[in-house]
Amino acid sequence: MGKVEYWRRNLNVLWFGNFIAGIGFSSISPFIALFIGQLGDYSNEQTSLLSGTAFAAPFIVKMVVSPLWGILADRYGRKPMLLRASLGMAVVIGSMSLVTNAYQLIGLRLLQGVFAGFISNAIALVAAETPSEHIGQASGKIATGNVSGTLVGPLVGGVIATSFGYRFTFLVTGVAMLAAFLLSLFLVHEHFKPVAKQKGAKHPHFLQGIPNSKIIIAMFLTTLCVQATNNSISPILSLYVKQLMPNSTSVALIAGVIQSINGISMIVVAPLFGRLGDRIGATKVLSFGLLFATFVFFATALTQNVWELAICRLMVGISDAALLPMVQAMLAKNSPRDRISQVFSWNQSFQAAGNVSGPMIGSSVVLFGGYRGVFIATAIIASCNFLLVKRTKINH
């Protein structure tokens, strides 16, 4: 089979792997504080600190180590890195079912970050193996895998934990990640040819000699901004819903639905924007997404009831569908084949930085700007991102 015949199967298998990886990183979030409370006699303050540390641990480590895995992927191939990440996460997440105290859980969450790289290398492999005329379409689909998993993860984790206990959630996720490993091992094909280097020659910096390095940096910053704006609402969402519905007894459920509704619209719309980007150019779709996001976040600050909030969150998903696939398409088109994994790994580092900084921004702004101030701040970030993209003068 030739390259063109393999790319669709690679895309489908790696979409599933990204989906499972997304679940692995998010399934613990609904009950992490409750689980830690069962692991020891901790005070409320200690439980809050430990659960916050456990939540952030894999993202912080991933932010640091992802570039290393990118270098190794470009040197030895993306498929070996997929297998390393999926098998490592299967073992680590499965082992979380055996912890006896919070510090063991935090240690394994740190290891989970060490074994990150499945998502970035899956995206890099798809980008390298997909014919150029289908890059936008493939980027649109692969982008929904991780988002879908992150969306479904809290729901899956909550259902399993409620039905079978917290520990069973880790076990099920570990088994699913093992399935992703086996599918990648037997069904993913890579035409990898390492670039020959002279003996003793230094490995170039991943941006060295790239004509469009400014575009790559702009896409990194766009990824960070998108993740930060999406996650800035996380610390205050349930409180904002409670403010809009002071007499409701279902605040937690409604907040959970609103938290995930943007992911639903992104899953539906992203492939459409991917194909549109292939036809009219990724830059036009990207610019639309940033302007639309600015408008939606400002509108969210004006919401007066939970239905208006839900509609605005649904529209955030549409802006994400125009942004994330186009970022990946731009990175794929502007990255040398021999350094594409490094580029996508650095992009994952910026994504992790957004995952960490977003809640910090939201928690800080609410102290002096209130809940609505968080949305105004995110709108300003999105507008600054638009100006950055325009200043970069992207012509794709």
The pLDDT of residue 155? 74
Domain 1-190 has CATH 1.20.1250.20: yes
The pLDDT of residue 288? 92
Q: Residue 265 corresponds to which tokens in the numbers above?
A: 């619209």
The pLDDT of residue 90? 93
- Residue of 253, 236, 96 lying closest to 166 (CA atoms): 96
Q: What phi and psi, each to the nearest 5 degrees, are found at residue 130?
A: -90, 135
Contact 189, 10 (CB under 8 A): yes
The CB density around residue 219, as the number of other CB atoms within 10 Å, is: 28
Looking at the chain, the domain(s) classified CATH 1.20.1250.20 span 1-190, 210-396
Give the mean pLDDT per block of 10 residues along the chain (396 residues): 68 88 74 80 78 81 86 86 92 94 93 86 84 77 80 76 84 89 90 62 61 84 88 72 80 71 82 83 88 94 90 90 84 79 84 82 80 89 89 64
Q: Give residue 114's Cα distance to chain centre.
A: 16
Q: What phi and psi, each to the nearest 5 degrees, are found at residue 212?
A: -105, 40
Instruction: For domain 210-396, give the fold.
Output: Growth Hormone; Chain: A; (1.20.1250)
Reduce the secondary structure of the chain to three states and give it as a string: CCHHHHHHHHHHHHHHHHHHHHHHHHCCCCCHHHHHHHHCCCCHHHHHHHHHHHHHHHHHHHHHHHHHHHHHHHHHCHHHHHHHHHHHHHHHHHHHHHCCCHHHHHHHHHHHHHCCCHHHHHHHHHHHHCCHHHHHHHHHHHHHHHHHHHHHHHHHHHHHHHHHCHHHHHHHHHHHHHHHHHHHHHHCCCCCCCCCCCCCCCCCCCCCCCCCHHHHHHHHHHHHHHHHHHHCCCCCHHHHHHHHCCCCCCHHHHHHHHHHHHHHHHHHHHHHHHHHHHHHCHHHHHHHHHHHHHHHHHHHCCCCCHHHHHHHHHHHHHHHHHHHHHHHHHHHHHCCHHHHHHHHHHHHHHHHHHHHHHHHHHHHHHHHHHHHHHHHHHHHHHHHHHHHHHHHCCCC
pTM across the whole model = 0.73
Q: What angle do CA 103, 19, 252 make, to 5 degrees?
A: 65
The pLDDT of residue 235? 61
The pLDDT of residue 242? 80
